[in-house]
Amino acid sequence: MKFSESLYESVKEIWESYYTHPFVKGIGDGTLEVDKFKFYMIQDYIYLLDYAKVYALGVVKADREEIMQGFSTMVNGILNGEMSIHRSYMKILGITQEEIENTKASLSNISYTHYMLAVSQMGGLAELSVSLLACMWSYLEIGKVLSKNPGATEHEFYGEWIRGYISEEYKEGTQWVIDLVDELSENLSEKDKEKLREIFINTSKYEYMFWDMSYNKEM
């Protein structure tokens, strides 16, 4: 079994709880209140700015040119790819750049991003890569699950969000991180792998907290 597969098994129950969370479920069946989605969009935009910084740290920590290129591509993908979905919704929802700049990150948001940044700065490339994985991979899995709902990908409002996270570009980016984690963990001891597993479980719990925070609009 690949290390990434064992990571998935360790959080399977947590990830399955995402699919039935009222926020995620509401996107899938089109019933989520727009004001909750707007709150999420602003908070997620703020989150992604820090998330991109973790990838940028990967460029600094990498010792091979191809890995540096990979992290650089991912930074570009977040800032000019994934965030373009957010900018599209921001336009529809009437969210201005000024509104984002004047909105504080919620406590759950800050806790999550600060955890990733701390793990990445204090640890090596393996810790950094694993800290990024839960977010990217779980969104792909959520997109897959929601896309099975009849008409979900064509929903006039939430369809674009679902399509974005099952796109080939997003799949390729996710697979790159998965493959990197498998490569970096190949010769690690069980003790070191257990540390990585703990990071993966923690970030998966933070993902659930983010959905909860968004649904309840908690600051």
Torsion of CA 38, 40, 44, 45, to 10 degrees: 10
Annotated catalytic residue 207: yes
DSSP state, 167? S
Among candidate residues 9, 169, 207, 218, the one labeled active-site is 207
φ and ψ of 59, to 5 deg: -60, -40
CA atoms within 13 A on the CB side of 208: 16
User: Within its chain, how far is the Cα of 32 from the centroid?
Assistant: 20
Torsion of CA 105, 33, 77, 67, to 10 degrees: 70
CA–CA distance, 68 with 71 (Å, rounded to integer) = 5
Active site residue ranges: 207
